[in-house]
Structure 1
Amino acid sequence: MEKILIIGANGKTGRLLAEQLSAHPYYLPVAMIRDRSQQSFFEQMGVKTVIGDLEKDFSDAFEGIDKVIFAAGSGSKTGKEKTKLVDALGAIKSIDLALNHQVKKYVMLSSRGAENAEKADESMQHYLLAKKEADEYLKSSGLPYAIVRPGKLTNGPYTGKIKAAPIFNEKGEISRADVAAVLVHMLDPSLEGLQVFEILGGKVDIPEAIHLFLKSGQPVV
């Protein structure tokens, strides 16, 4: 089984990732958390934890890791300095560590709007610029990667269905449970094609939607 490091494991999407990966036949999740008070949730699922803070040295978290899912985020309402530390510099440090430990694949949870962050509203721009900086660094790193950019996140139920496109010209939302399932699916080493895309809630099963998008590069709705 492959060990999957979840960075940002104690967030809402991170916890769903831990649940889904713990039930997966081929993956063994390792939840990176900032302090021991967050351990109990993961221990109840039998998920191993490792202490790591994106603003400090977290190199120990990468020992024995095969693949990484980066699901951390300071949030769009966080101050510019904190956003830069977590969403840009923290992500970049994790990419460097992934390279040093020869990680097989790095899956990034990004955000819609990151592609054109410079054009974003002022309230969101610092957040999206940080996401874009991390995305671009990952693209140039040489690591096998996937960058997933979901629409507005909800706490709705898992549907297993999405739509995917390079960039959507419409508003939309998607449940965190479906986002987590897409991130897990992107760990698959057999996937080929440009693995940078946006996702929204849709009507096509996740594996089929991703397969069709990666094959054609065209929107799957």
Structure 2
Amino acid sequence: MKPVTGLARGSGVRRGRRAGAGRVPGRTVAPPHASPSSSSSSNAAVVVPGDTVLVAGATGGVGQILTKKLVERGYVVRALSRSFSKSMELLGTHPNLTHVEADITRPETLVDGVRGCRAVCCTTGTTAFPTLRWLGKNDPDTNTWVGTRNLVDACREGKECGRFVFVSSAGVKRYDAGPPYSILNAFGVLVAKEKAETYLANSGMPYTIVRPGRLTDAPYTSYDLNTLMKGESGERREVNLSLEEELDGETSRAAVAESCVQSLVHAFMENETFSIESVLGEGPETSDEEWASRLRAMRM
């Protein structure tokens, strides 16, 4: 199936599997007292400027860009990270920006952060292979799976969140099919992301899941080849979008961040899971209309 790009708008694309479809036994966990049929659609709506949005992982590469984009659009943003001082250093101050020091692996620290939030964007993550970043409960299973589950639970208990956007990864449905994703998943990072996806999809909260390929462009906060080589998207400002878990190309951090914004802007992106990669072309940039055109074509 050919993915949708800005150069092929309106082309027919069949709907892919929802998050959690075709689950592997023993690798997915459903939240207690929740099911896909209990989705709280009555709480879902477009998230508009002036609404409060929590960005978890705000000091990461995608998180920094997303936080700044939301502030520029007029949202009231809570930048959640483990270090208040680091958040202040990287993101600065703004009347619409609050720095929240919390740890997603410790659920008791999340209650105040999510209270009153209309939306939550989870951009947290860690390295796929063992590094010093794994110290302090920052391995993939604890950070990505347990941490995301804690954040989802905090939002469900607060009953105010109208959209939960989760940045996942390409390969979450293909790590058993050989390289490159079997290698990337050697220490379980894709299994952790898959479990987090499924938990969110079964939580009953309105959600959007974004699956980018290997991330390019500054800020370089991860420990991978693109960071070492300072990988850049260059002229690749267009995006391929697909409901299938099939894209393998690199993805600009800016494109991922903007796709999160657009997932909040457009109500029809509720309960959607899609893949994204950067390709040659001018791209939609920050135009709501251009993004809407591409996202609608993807869903046809």
- TM bin (shorter chain): 0.7 to 0.9
Question: Which residue of 102, 123, 144 maps to 2:206?
Answer: 144
Whose strand proportion is higher, 1 or 2?
A: 1
Find the counterpart in structure 1 of residue 185 from structure 2.
124
Question: Which residue of 153, 177, 180 maps to 2:215?
Answer: 153
> Is there any run of 5+ residues in structure 1 with no aligned partner, and where?
217-221
- The letter of the residue matching 1:51 is E
Find the counterpart in structure 2 of residue 21 from structure 1.
70
Structure 1: distance between partners of 2:271 and 2:114? 26
Find the counterpart in structure 2 of residue 175 from structure 1.
252
Find the counterpart in structure 1 of residue 118 from structure 2.
66
Structure 2: distance between partners of 1:117 and 1:129? 8
Bigger RCO of structures 1 and 2 (CA < 8 A, at least 6 apart) = 2
Structure 2 length-normalised TM:
0.66
RMSD: 2.2
Q: What whole-Å deviation, never above 9, does each CA across 1:166-185 have from its counterpart, x for those lacking one? A: 23645311110111000111
What pairs up with 1:1-221 in 2 under 5 angstroms?
Answer: 1-25=50-74, 27-38=75-86, 39-46=88-95, 47-56=97-106, 57=108, 58-78=110-130, 82-102=139-159, 103-119=161-177, 120-125=181-186, 126-155=188-217, 156=232, 161-167=238-244, 169=246, 171-188=248-265, 190-192=267-269, 195-202=272-279, 203=281, 205=284, 206-214=291-299, 216=300
Q: Are the equivalent residues in 1 in contact too, given 2:250–2:277 (CA < 8 A)?
A: yes
> Is there any run of 5+ residues in structure 2 with no aligned partner, and where?
1-49, 218-231, 285-290
Q: Are the equivalent residues in 2 in contact too, given 1:145–1:195 (CA < 8 A)?
A: yes
Query: Residue 193 and residue 141 in structure 1: after superposition, are their counterparts in 2 closer, same or farther (change >3 A)?
Result: closer
Q: What whole-Å deviation, never above 9, does each CA across 1:144-195 have from its counterpart, x for those lacking one? A: 0000000111014697631111236453111101110001110125215751
Question: How many residues of Structure 1 are paired with residues of Structure 2 in the alignment?
Answer: 214
Between the aligned residues of both structures, percent identity stands at: 24
Structure 2: distance between partners of 1:132 and 1:147? 11
Find the counterpart in structure 2 of residue 219 from structure 1.
none
Whose helix proportion is higher, 1 or 2?
A: 1
